[in-house]
């Protein structure tokens, strides 16, 4: 039976919720109809008729054995709905310490899918993430000098991805340079190691890589290479889907209503976004350390929400500067503080929706995951991009809300106001 009829053209397994919306948004650029599930949905009909299905996990910062188990379960479910091509998505900053799980998950998926070789391609040139000579750059700075060395969960202290990956894996790790016009890049890959870091500094590189690997059963990388693979697959598709007319497009109508921003990331980008938005919007910073000490910070925050009567968007954050973050990281409350921040923002997200908020911007992968889980949302439809890698999304079922789930280090300083000013999405069913 034709792949277009049997199941999605591609199934993605993402290691966090914002990373999932990132990859879903870039695949949608190709014209694909894309749905994102939070974990494995109980109701498979939620994904019927879509060209790409993205399973969002919260596995980026958990133990490798747990991440492998969850990822293989997702691959098994994707295969059950007819998926034949798989993509393992992680952050374009390759968030994974020596104890991390990018390598172990990739190896587990290789074993599960009976794959002998896969590539690792985190480059995202639009967001200034590039790989050259196996080293990851963010803008002009190497990964370990761009601020990622201070990440609270996955501090990145080495930009050499061959070295980072080799510390996590049993299989040999190699590197392949940028595609060169006139050379057979596919043959170059085939002769390389089982696990291959691929250099890419621009979209031409990514397109050439995508052409070479689009037929592969398993590819790993950031969202940008997935977007290029989606382009290749859509151009190669032999026939239209039999159910193509049954899928409602996200541009059909709008979700109107009050808006709010929840920021849990402490990245440099999110700090700038919080500072910009707080200049002319009501802003509450949650004292996470006090909450860990037993102070009812959450209750006070709910009373603050109740007192906001202007109808204008509000911002609630746990974002702190690098000096304060370093103090928390060095204290015994580090893990407790991270969990407390997620929990409070998730509870406040639900409280806001219960009190009429219909548009939520959430900054931070872990925070986004906690908020979505607390709201009980199983799947979202992917809408238009606000910024590269950050689309608006629309919940399926109830509660009916528009969500912008942003990786902490994505977006420029005015991202929050740009997102809220540009909302558009599908009407309620």
Contact indicator for 134, 162 with CB cutoff of 8 Å: yes
Per domain, the residue ranges of the chain are 3-246, 259-421
* DSSP letter (8 states) at residue 378: -
pLDDT of residue 174: 98
Q: Please name the CATH architecture into which domain 259-421 falls.
A: 3-Layer(aba) Sandwich (3.40)
Higher pLDDT, 425 or 198: 198
Packing angle, helices 203-213 and 223-236, rounded to 10: 60
CA distance 94 to 202: 18
pLDDT of 47-95, one tens digit each?
A: 888 999 999 998 988 999 999 999 999 999 999 999 999 999 998 888 7
State percent of the chain over pLDDT 70. 89
pLDDT at 240 over 60: no
pLDDT at 275 over 80: yes
Lowest model confidence (mean pLDDT) among 142-156, 162-176, 204-218, 247-261: 247-261
pLDDT of residue 402: 94
pLDDT of residue 428: 30
Fold of 3-246: Rossmann fold (3.40.50)
pLDDT at 314 over 70: yes
Q: What is the mean pLDDT of the chain?
A: 88
pLDDT of residue 422: 66
What average pLDDT does the segment 402-421 reach? 91
Hey, which residues does 382 pair with through a beta bridge? Answer: 393
pLDDT of 358-409, one tens digit each?
A: 999 999 988 998 999 999 999 999 988 898 888 899 998 788 999 999 988 8
pLDDT at 253 over 60: no
- Please state whether the peptide bond connecting residue 399 to the residue before it is cis, i.e. omega within 30 degrees of 0: yes
**3-246 matches 259-421 in fold:** no
What average pLDDT does the segment 168-172 reach? 96
């Amino acid at each position: 039976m034709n792949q277009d009829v049997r199941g999605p053209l591609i199934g993605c397994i993402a290691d966090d919720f914002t990373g999932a919306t990132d990859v879903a948004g870039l695949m949608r650029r190709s014209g694909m109809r894309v749905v994102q599930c939070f974990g494995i949905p109980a109701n498979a009909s939620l994904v019927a008729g879509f060209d790409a299905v993205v399973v969002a996990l919260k596995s980026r910062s958990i133990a490798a054995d747990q991440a492998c188990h969850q990822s293989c379960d997702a691959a098994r479910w994707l295969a059950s709905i007819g998926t034949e091509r798989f993509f393992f998505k992680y952050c374009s900053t390759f968030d994974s310490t020596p104890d991390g799980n990018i390598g172990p998950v990739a190896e587990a998926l290789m074993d599960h899918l009976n794959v002998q070789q896969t590539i690792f391609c985190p480059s995202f040139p639009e967001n200034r993430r590039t790989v050259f000579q196996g080293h990851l750059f963010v803008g002009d700075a190497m990964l370990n000098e761009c601020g990622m060395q201070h990440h609270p969960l996955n501090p990145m202290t080495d930009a050499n991805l061959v070295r980072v990956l080799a510390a996590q894996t049993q299989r040999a790790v190699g590197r392949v340079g940028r595609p060169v016009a006139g050379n057979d890049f596919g043959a170059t890959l085939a002769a390389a190691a089982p696990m291959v870091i691929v250099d890419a500094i621009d979209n031409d590189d990514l397109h050439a890589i995508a052409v070479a690997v689009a037929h592969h059963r398993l590819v790993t990388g950031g969202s940008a290479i997935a977007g290029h693979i989606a382009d290749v697959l859509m151009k190669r598709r032999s026939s239209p889907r039999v159910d193509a007319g049954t899928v409602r497009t996200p541009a059909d109508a709008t979700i109107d209503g009050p808006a709010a921003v929840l920021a849990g990331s402490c990245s440099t980008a999110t700090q700038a976004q919080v500072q910009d938005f707080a200049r002319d919007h009501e802003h509450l910073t949650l004292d996470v350390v006090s909450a860990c000490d037993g102070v009812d910070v959450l209750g006070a925050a709910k009373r603050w929400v109740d007192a906001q009567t202007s109808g204008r968007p509000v911002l609630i954050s746990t974002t702190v500067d690098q000096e304060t973050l370093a103090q928390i990281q060095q204290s015994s409350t580090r893990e407790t503080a991270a969990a407390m921040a997620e929990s409070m923002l998730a509870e406040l997200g639900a409280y806001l929706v219960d009190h009429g908020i219909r548009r939520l911007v959430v900054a931070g992968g872990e925070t986004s995951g906690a908020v979505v889980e607390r709201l009980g949302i199983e799947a979202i439809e992917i809408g238009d991009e606000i910024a590269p890698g950050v689309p608006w999304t629309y919940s399926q079922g109830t509660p009916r809300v528009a969500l912008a789930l942003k990786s902490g280090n994505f977006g420029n300083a005015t991202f929050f106001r740009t997102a809220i000013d540009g909302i558009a999405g599908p009407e309620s069913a």
